[in-house]
A and B are shown apart, each in its own frame.
Chain A
Amino acid sequence: MSDIALTPPVPVTTEAPLIRALLIGVALIFVALFLFAPLVTVFVEALRQGWVAAIDALRLPDAQAAIRMTLTIAAIAVPINAAFGIAAAWAITKFDFPGKAFLITLIDLPFSVSPVVAGLMLVLLFGANSTLGGWLIANDMPIVFAFPGIVLATLFVTFPFVARELIPVMIEQGRAEEEAALTLGASGWRIFFTVTLPNIRWALLYGVLLCNARAMGEFGAVAVVSGKIRGETATMPTMVEMFYNEYLAVAAFTLAAVLAMLALLTLLLKSLLEWRHADLLAATRRH
């Protein structure tokens, strides 16, 4: 016992000061170089010729059409994927049925398939060269190189976000609270709105935000399906590329900056909600 008492206490959970400084330094440099610097560059380049030039660039009809297109697509795709994501997560975590493993794999498919391939699949399925596509075009319902195609491509690419975010949370929570609500006489819908939804709301919010960010930012699949027709099917990311290729650097970077700001706005919104409901969050979190 005594020889233990004689040795000075050695901190077992902390590194030497030099190593600590080095590790923190490397992490900070990494964050600055790969996360912060690119974001700043976008804004710097956008404002290179001053505010007026930047605002003028946003007044371009093509830019305005692209912004409208992207916001509309997100407004359609996000609610649909939120609803289907909840339904899929609910089915997978609260019920047992044959083919469950297959369904989980299917939900992950858009993550593993390249967006360009996803876009090509849609073109092959609904394009003018397929029977289905030919019929749709003959009946004045074109999908490829038109608005519905962009929605479908965005839906496909962003499908996993909500479900993937919800499934682990719902598995961890199990079925006990739902069963308790059942024994207390609640109907299925009532259980969903009063027990299930409040329990998953933070995961749902996070999934929706990720889904929204991707829906607004998707390039590959949309570029293939939309045909990038200026003023008609061009979205913000595809318009940024076109501006850039035409050496319209200010226009390209201004539009990119707006896209970045939309993303930052969603993150701000999330932080704000978390801050406002901090006490409830603390009360309902598992300990």
Chain B
Amino acid sequence: MNIEIEELAKEFGTTRALHPVSLSIPSGALVALLGPSGSGKTTLLRVLGGLEFPTSGRVLFGGQDATGLSVQERRAGFVFQSYALFKHMTVFENIAYGLRARPRKERPAEAEIGRRVNKLLDLIQLPDIGTRYPNQLSGGQRQRVALARALAIEPRMLLLDEPFGALDAKVRKELRHGLREIHDRTGLTTVFVTHDQGEAMELADLVVVMSMGRIEQVGKPAEIRAKPATDFVRSFTAA
């Protein structure tokens, strides 16, 4: 599903987190929102997910206006920075949460829920951890469980806030490939936020460089490297 962002602005009180920004994300793309902290990238992601409402502007999902849709109606799979797994539930229950939260008519039967959760556990290559609690998992495992939980609701898109931020360098490299693989296999339009230009350049089809609430440049990693549009982009992407 393609995402269109039209003249989107967000203010918190008197501070402007986002100046009007416009962006067009093609269906099935893996997009990185790249920028330093305070650049507005997380705000933009949260607006897409429906966790913040824009002060002005529109968001379109697959050509339909989604600006006023509630979080629940958006069906966006969201992976939070520190994963926000439910501490008091097992991994199985964490992943099943979205399915159990559906209205009774649309809720799958218990056996079907079990089947789907196990399939997702296979997808993240952790088939045997269903009975464990989140604090019994490593950082990398938690990230993958959060991904599985987001995928369980059969989302229309995948939104990830600094998905590798809490991990050490080695695990980070491994999980980059993991995310790429899951993206390619599900074909979901995926947007992730990062402050690490190496991560953005290696992983994304399309990189959106942001600074001070504005989009500085949008392009393929190679284009941005070859032709940085502004001094900021040049200095920020210089590895």
Instruction: Give me the interface of A with B, judged by CB distance under 8 Å.
Output: 176-177, 179-187, 190, 194-195, 198-199, 280, 283-287
Contact = CB atoms under 8 A, between A and B. Distances in A.
The 9 closest A-B pairs by CB, nearest first: A184-B98, A176-B84, A183-B78, A186-B101, A180-B84, A283-B133, A182-B71, A284-B88, A198-B88
A199 to B, nearest CB: 7
B153 A184 contact: yes
Given A182-B71, A183-B50, A185-B72, 16 more contacts: A177-B84, A179-B80, A179-B84, A181-B86, A182-B72, A183-B51, A183-B74, A183-B76, A183-B78, A184-B152, A185-B98, A185-B102, A194-B86, A280-B88, A283-B87, A284-B133
16 contacts: A177-B87, A179-B78, A179-B80, A180-B78, A180-B80, A180-B84, A180-B85, A180-B149, A182-B51, A183-B49, A183-B50, A183-B77, A185-B102, A186-B97, A194-B86, A280-B88
Contacts of B77: 183
B82 interface: yes
Given A176-B82, A283-B133, A185 B51 contact: no
B59 interface: no
A184 B136 CA distance: 23
Interface of B: 49-51, 71-72, 74-78, 80-82, 84-88, 97-98, 101-102, 133, 135-136, 149-150, 152-153
A212 B76 CA distance: 44
Contacts of B49: 183
A37 to B, nearest CB: 41
B149 A184 contact: yes
Contacts of B82: 176
Nearest to B82: A176
Contacts of B133: 283-284
A287 B72 CA distance: 31
Contacts of B85: 177, 180
Contacts of B88: 198-199, 280, 283-284
Nearest to A184: B98
A286 B87 CA distance: 8
B86 A195 contact: yes
Contacts of A190: 101
B84 to A, nearest CB: 4
A194 B78 CA distance: 19
B72 A187 contact: yes
B135 A184 contact: no
B136 A179 contact: no
B97 A184 contact: yes
Nearest to B72: A185
A182 B81 CA distance: 16
Of the listed residues B88, B102, B136, the one surrounded by the most CB atoms of chain A closer than 10 A to its CB is B88
B68 to A, nearest CB: 16
Given A185-B101, A187-B72, A284 B87 contact: yes
Contacts of B153: 184-185
Nearest to B76: A183
Of the listed residues A177, A181, A185, the one surrounded by the most CB atoms of chain B closer than 10 A to its CB is A185
Contacts of A177: 84-87
A185 to B, nearest CB: 5
A281 B71 CA distance: 31
A100 to B, nearest CB: 14
A148 B98 CA distance: 46
A219 B135 CA distance: 45
Given A176-B84, A186-B97, A195-B86, A286 B51 contact: no
Nearest to A283: B133
B71 A183 contact: yes
A97 to B, nearest CB: 13
Of the listed residues A176, A180, A184, A199, the one surrounded by the most CB atoms of chain B closer than 10 A to its CB is A184
A185 B75 contact: yes
Contacts of A183: 49-51, 71, 74, 76-78, 150
B101 A181 contact: yes
A184 B84 contact: no
A283 B87 CA distance: 8
B82 to A, nearest CB: 7
Contact of B51 (A179, A186, A199, A285): A179
A184 B79 CA distance: 11
A23 B85 CA distance: 44
Contacts of B101: 181, 184-187, 190
Nearest to B149: A184
Of the listed residues A180, A199, A280, the one surrounded by the most CB atoms of chain B closer than 10 A to its CB is A180
Contacts of B135: 283-287
